Amino acid sequence: MKTKFIIAFIGIAVAFSTIAKAQFAFVEPSKRVVPAYLRTVRESVTTESSYYNNISTRAIRNFVADFPEVSNENWFCTQDLFVATFTLNDISYRVDYDRTGSWIETFRIYDEAKLPLDVWQAVKSSYYDYTIYQVQEIEQPHQPIVYVVHLDGKKKLINLQVCNGAVYEWQKFKKPK
Give the DSSP letter of residue 73. -
Q: How far apart are CA 100 and CA 84, in angstroms?
A: 15
Residue pair 73/92 in contact by the 8 Å Cβ criterion: no
CA 151, CA 171: separation in Å to the nearest integer? 10
Can you tell me the distance from the alpha carbon of 171 to that of 157, in angstroms, rounded to the nearest whole number? 8
Q: pTM here?
A: 0.68
For 32-48, what is each residue's pLDDT tens digit?
Answer: 444 444 444 444 444 44
Q: Which SS3 state, helix, strand or coil, does residue 2 take?
A: helix
**Average pLDDT of the residues in 100-129:** 94
